[in-house]
Structure 1
């Protein structure tokens, strides 16, 4: 579990995060959503330890990040997996080498142990024969699956995903969503996803935190988001005519 308490972050005179308090639960897909400029990217980078913050706290299973020494922070980072928006694979490395990279950085495993682990995670993301391909030979969906394999190769306790469906067609996006949810449930990871994709929200949004102007405007689940009367949430969620129709059908069925 990740616990956030009264988090404030500024850049100069710009107050970006304005006292956010929330929790992200273990074994659940936790989504951060909001319009551009809402603060969700800054929030994610604070959670990752990439940005410092002026006040408040972030705790990982009871360990307050700001209280950790350098070695403890390194140990925490070794337990974090990250899926970047553009996959961020190393072009000069094969897919197997990309996936092995965190093992070389954070573990003292033998080469055979690392190879066994790489084989396991590539098979888990349905890429059992992709080891020797270069990233340029892989489709966008394959690259996302490689990025997920790399993120989980160290058996992390925490998984962060920044717009994991960016640039994917709707069918492939659903495959990636389902894979992230399956892995989260299977390994009981605390997963936090930064997203603007309402299809992802409705597909895997077990916990949703909606930000607006640096404030937590609303939180709930994919089920309760249909019931909210919060105007900011409904304006964001139902900007698409499709979701307006879905909400009407839901309310009619449950009235």
Structure 2
């Protein structure tokens, strides 16, 4: 579990995060949503340890990051997996080499052991026949799967995903959503997903945190989001045609 207490973060005198308090549960897909400029990316980077908050605490399974020694912080970061918005694969490396990269960075395992773990992760995302291919030789959806395999190859306790469906067609995006959810449950990971995709909210939104102008405006799950009276949330979700149709069907009792 990740617990956040009264988190504040700003840049050049402008406060971006304004006292956020929430938690993200282990074994669940936790989503952060909101419009551009709401603070989603800054929030995610604070949890990754890339930004240092001016005030507040972030606790990982009861341990506050700000109270850890430098070596303890480094050890914690090794337990984090990250899926970047653009996949961020190394163009000159094969799928297999890309997935092995974190193991090489953080461990001193032998080549055979690294290959075994890489192949296990590649198999988990259903890419068994793509080991020797370069990123340019596979589709965007397959690249996302490679990024997920690389993020889970070290069996992290915490998985962070920044817009994992960016640039994908709806069908492929749904496959990626369900894959992330399955891995979260199978490995019992605390997964946090930064997204603007309302289809993702519908599919895998077990815990949803809605940010507006740096404040935590609302939190709940994918069923509760239809019932809220919060005008900011209603305005945000109604911008999606999918949400309009679902809401209308619910009101009609269909």
Question: How do 1:99-114 and structure 2 match up within 5 A?
Answer: 99-114=99-114
Per-residue Cα deviation, 1:188-210 (whole angstroms, up to 9, x for no partner): 00000000000001100000000
**What 5-or-longer segments of structure 2 have no aligned partner?**
none
* 1:110 positional shift: 1.3
Distance of 1:188 and 1:172 partners within structure 2: 24
Aligned partner of residue 228 in structure 1, secondary structure = coil
Equivalent residue number for residue 222 of structure 1: 222
Equivalent residue number for residue 247 of structure 2: 247
Give the structure-2-normalised TM-score: 0.98
Equivalent residue number for residue 68 of structure 2: 68
Equivalent residue number for residue 162 of structure 1: 162
Distance of 1:208 and 1:180 partners within structure 2: 16
Equivalent residue number for residue 117 of structure 1: 117
Question: How do 1:72-221 and structure 2 match up within 5 A?
Answer: 72-221=72-221
Per-residue Cα deviation, 1:86-120 (whole angstroms, up to 9, x for no partner): 00001111110100000011112111111000111
Distance of 1:151 and 1:242 partners within structure 2: 30
Per-residue Cα deviation, 1:129-186 (whole angstroms, up to 9, x for no partner): 1111001111100000000000000000000000000000000000000000000000
Aligned partner of residue 129 in structure 1, secondary structure = helix
Distance of 1:253 and 1:82 partners within structure 2: 40
* 1:251 positional shift: 2.9
Distance of 2:63 and 2:137 partners within structure 1: 41
Distance of 2:251 and 2:206 partners within structure 1: 20
Distance of 1:243 and 1:18 partners within structure 2: 28
Aligned partner of residue 179 in structure 2, secondary structure = helix
Whether the aligned pair in 1 keeps the contact of 2:34 and 2:40 (CA below 8 Å) is: yes
Aligned residues: 254
* 1:241 positional shift: 3.3
Runs of 4+ residues over 3 Å off in structure 1: none
Give the structure-1-normalised TM-score: 0.98
Deviates more, 1:28-37 or 1:239-248: 239-248
